[in-house]
C-alpha cells in the first residue's frame, strides 16, 4: 500500500511475535505494507520477522512507558498502528489482587493509549492514519472471573470512540475489532468442556482463526475503509450480535 507520494505505508503491530498479532503482520505485509513487529521476546520476534520479507522488529513492553517511547523512536514514522498485545491474570473479583488488576490494565489499556500517543502527531502531520485496537467479545458481554481483562477491553472500545471523534478531521480513522473465541495460545489452556460449551453458543459452529481477525485488520487499514471510524467490528462467528 502506497501513500500519496508513492511511499510504502508502515504498520506497527504490538504482540506480533505469535497468534493474532503475527497473523495481522502477515496479512498487512501481503497488502504491500511495510510491517514492524513489536513484542517483549526478542528471539520470537526475530524468528517471526525472518518469515515476513521486508519486515523489521522492535522489543516493546507495554507496561513500561520508557519501553514504549524507546520502541517507537526506533521504529520511526508509523502510518498504521495495530494495538493487539494483551495479558490476562484471571480471578474472581472478590479475591483479585490489586497487582493483578493493575498489571492487566497497564498493558491492555494504558499501554495501548501510550502507544497511540506516540503515533498521533505524525499521523496528524501527514493527514492520514489508521489506528486499530483489538478489543474482545468480553468487552461487550462481560465474563465472570475476568473483571480486569474485561474492563481493559471495554475501555479500549471507549477509547476508540473518543479518539475517533478527536482526530477524524485529520483523516485518521480509529476502529476496534472484537474477536470472539479464537484458537490461540491464550485460549489453548482452556478445558475441553469449556471449549465445547462455548462452541454450542457460536452459530457458525467453529472457533475463529487468527487469520479471521487479520483479514478484518487488513480491511480497516485499507484505503477502502477510509469512511469507517469509531466502529467496533465483531469477528466472533455470531457468538454475540
Interaxial angle between packed helices 19-30 and 210-220, expressed in degrees from 0 to 180 and rounded to the nearest 10: 50
Catalytic residue among 72, 149, 181, 207: 149
DSSP letters, 179-233, are E-SB-SHHHHTS-HHHHHHHHTT-TT-S-B-HHHHHHHHHHHTSGGGTT--S-EE
Contacts of 237 (CB under 8 A, 6+ apart): 180, 181, 202, 203, 204, 205, 206, 207, 208
| 149 labelled catalytic | yes
Contacts of residue 95, Cβ cutoff 8 Å, sequence gap at least 6: none
- 175: phi then psi, degrees, rounded to nearest 5: -135, 160
Q: Which residues have a catalytic role annotated?
A: 149
Amino acid at each position: 500500500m502506497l501513500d500519496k507520494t508513492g511511499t510504502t505505508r508502515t504498520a506497527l503491530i504490538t504482540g506480533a511475535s505469535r497468534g493474532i498479532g503475527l497473523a495481522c503482520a502477515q496479512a498487512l505485509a501481503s497488502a504491500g505494507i511495510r510491517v514492524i513487529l513489536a513484542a517483549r521476546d526478542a528471539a520470537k520476534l526475530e524468528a517471526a520477522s525472518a518469515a515476513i520479507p521486508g519486515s523489521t522488529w522492535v522489543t516493546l513492553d507495554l507496561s513500561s512507558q520508557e519501553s514504549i517511547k524507546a520502541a517507537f523512536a526506533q521504529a520511526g514514522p508509523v502510518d498504521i498502528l495495530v494495538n493487539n498485545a494483551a495479558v490476562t491474570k484471571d480471578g474472581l473479583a472478590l479475591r483479585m489482587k490489586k497487582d493483578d488488576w493493575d498489571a492487566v490494565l497497564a498493558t491492555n489499556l494504558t499501554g495501548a493509549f501510550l502507544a497511540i500517543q506516540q503515533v498521533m502527531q505524525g499521523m496528524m502531520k501527514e493527514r492520514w492514519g489508521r489506528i486499530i485496537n483489538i478489543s474482545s467479545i468480553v468487552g461487550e458481554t462481560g465474563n465472570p472471573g475476568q473483571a480486569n481483562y474485561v474492563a481493559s477491553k471495554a475501555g479500549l472500545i471507549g477509547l476508540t470512540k473518543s479518539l475517533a471523534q478527536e482526530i477524524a478531521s485529520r483523516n485518521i480513522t480509529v476502529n476496534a475489532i472484537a474477536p470472539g473465541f479464537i484458537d490461540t495460545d491464550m485460549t489453548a489452556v482452556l478445558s475441553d468442556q469449556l471449549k465445547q460449551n462455548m462452541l454450542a453458543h457460536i452459530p457458525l459452529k467453529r472457533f475463529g482463526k487468527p487469520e479471521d481477525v487479520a483479514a478484518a485488520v487488513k480491511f480497516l487499514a485499507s484505503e477502502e475503509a477510509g469512511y469507517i471510524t469509531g466502529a467496533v467490528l465483531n469477528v466472533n462467528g455470531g457468538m454475540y450480535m
